[in-house]
């Protein structure tokens, strides 16, 4: 991750002095030479972008051609409220201008176009790819393209619905170091792709598996079947979603009580994001990308789920039972 052999400049060393004391010169060097791509600029991703720009990544490329709406402003503190400033500019262009002010040392740019149309050659330029607000098919497709790259590209997808959030991580075959009993040990993890992970039979998962994990799968499957845009659902869809839940649970030999009606209703009714939840999910995502790039610390494997109703953040390792 990042370019090997390039040292920090004197200016970088001075600016990132406190961070260097926390995670070391080598970790900061890797971070400062890393390149990140982000698509889907809603509240959670905005929090993430702020965090990694302040941490000092080498470059950040933004992709989101949508124009500003009131709904998109609910948790996006980077976009000015002045219509004269926002008129005619995409979300990515507006966020780019604001992020440059956070840390002039970081190169922030915009890439226009449909996320689904970018190819393997495009994604292989980055150390990490973070996507949000996209269809189930696009998640699978982008993750697969990252895996086809000749160099390892870390892949993350993140969603925030109502007061709930989910992060998925795919680091492929990942090696890292950590301290244990005053010694540094080398560790290795193998990750499933997003498509492989959500295909793991529900009946093979532990009984304690988060209900939110199953509820998110039902909602994204409903959006796919109905050909809806991401999060283009409402409480009025609940009867059809409950019908789909019944079909999926029967096929997976799982009790419907594992996916409560109230939880599905909350996920469907969400039209705006909750800034405090965005801050939590965006903070966790930022930490994970920094860990993956620096190669230090235990990375998340492979789902992180958060529900503000109980205030719990849960890590679920959804892995193939045969591995």
Burial class (CB in 10 A: 0-12, 13-18, 19+), 294: buried
- Pick the more confident residue, 4 or 132: 132
Q: What is the pLDDT of residue 231?
A: 80
Whether the pLDDT of residue 3 is over 70: the answer is no
Mean pLDDT of the region 56-76: 87
Please provide residue 124's backbone torsions phi and psi, each rounded to the nearest 5 degrees.
-70, -5
pLDDT band at 11 (very low <50, low <70, confident <90, very high): confident
Q: What is the pLDDT of residue 109?
A: 98
Q: How many CB atoms lie within 10 A of CB 8?
A: 19
Q: Which two structure tokens, joined as six digits, stand for 25?
A: 């010169």
**Lowest mean pLDDT, pick from 4-18, 50-64, 136-150, 254-268:** 4-18
pLDDT band at 93 (very low <50, low <70, confident <90, very high): very high
Q: What is the pLDDT of residue 12?
A: 82
What predicted TM-score, i.e. pTM, was given to this entire model? 0.93
Q: What is the pLDDT of residue 173?
A: 95
CA proximity to 258, closest of 219, 204, 215: 215
R_g of the chain computed on alpha carbons: 20
pLDDT band at 323 (very low <50, low <70, confident <90, very high): very low
Q: What is the pLDDT of residue 61?
A: 98
Whether the pLDDT of residue 4 is over 70: the answer is no
pLDDT band at 206 (very low <50, low <70, confident <90, very high): very high
Whether the pLDDT of residue 215 is over 70: the answer is yes
Mean pLDDT of the region 3-23: 75
Mean pLDDT of the region 169-198: 91
Average pLDDT, the chain: 91
Mean pLDDT of the region 72-95: 81
Mean pLDDT of the region 59-65: 97
The 10s digit of each residue's pLDDT in 133-142 is 999 999 999 9
The 10s digit of each residue's pLDDT in 274-310 is 889 999 999 999 999 999 998 888 999 999 999 999 9
Mean pLDDT of the region 240-249: 98
The 10s digit of each residue's pLDDT in 41-58 is 999 999 999 999 999 999
Q: What angle do CA 230, 65, 86 make, to 5 degrees?
A: 115
Q: Which two structure tokens, joined as six digits, stand for 105?
A: 């040392």
Enumerate domains of the chain plus CATH numbers.
10-195+273-316 (3.40.50.720), 199-269 (no CATH)
């Amino acid at each position: 991750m990042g370019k090997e052999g390039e040292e920090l400049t004197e200016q970088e060393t001075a600016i990132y002095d406190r961070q260097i004391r926390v995670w070391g010169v080598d970790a900061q060097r890797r971070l400062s030479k890393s390149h990140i791509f982000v698509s889907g600029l809603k509240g959670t991703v905005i929090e993430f972008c702020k965090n990694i720009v302040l941490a000092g990544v080498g470059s950040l490329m933004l992709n989101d051609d949508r124009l500003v709406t009131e709904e998109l402003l609910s948790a996006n503190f980077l976009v000015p409220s002045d219509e004269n400033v926002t008129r005619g500019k995409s979300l990515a262009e507006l966020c780019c201008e604001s992020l440059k002010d956070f840390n002039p040392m970081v190169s922030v740019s915009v890439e226009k176009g449909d996320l689904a149309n970018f190819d393997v050659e495009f994604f292989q330029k980055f150390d990490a790819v973070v996507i949000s607000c996209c269809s189930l098919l696009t998640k699978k497709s982008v993750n697969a393209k990252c895996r086809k790259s000749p160099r390892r590209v870390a892949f993350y997808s993140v969603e925030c619905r109502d007061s709930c959030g989910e992060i998925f991580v795919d680091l492929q075959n990942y090696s890292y170091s950590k301290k244990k009993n005053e010694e540094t040990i080398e560790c290795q993890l193998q990750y499933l792709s997003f498509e492989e992970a959500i295909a793991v039979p529900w009946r093979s998962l532990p009984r304690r598996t988060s209900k939110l994990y199953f509820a998110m799968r039902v909602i994204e499957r409903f959006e796919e079947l109905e050909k809806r845009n991401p999060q283009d659902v409402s409480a009025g869809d609940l009867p059809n979603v409950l019908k789909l839940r019944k079909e999926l649970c029967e096929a997976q030999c799982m009790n419907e009580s594992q996916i409560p009606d109230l939880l599905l209703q909350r996920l469907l009714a969400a039209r705006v994001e909750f800034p405090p939840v965005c801050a939590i999910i965006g903070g966790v995502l930022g930490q994970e990308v920094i860990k993956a790039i620096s190669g230090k610390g235990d990375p998340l494997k492979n789902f992180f789920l958060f529900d503000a109703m109980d205030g719990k953040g849960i890590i679920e390792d959804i892995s193939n039972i045969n591995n």
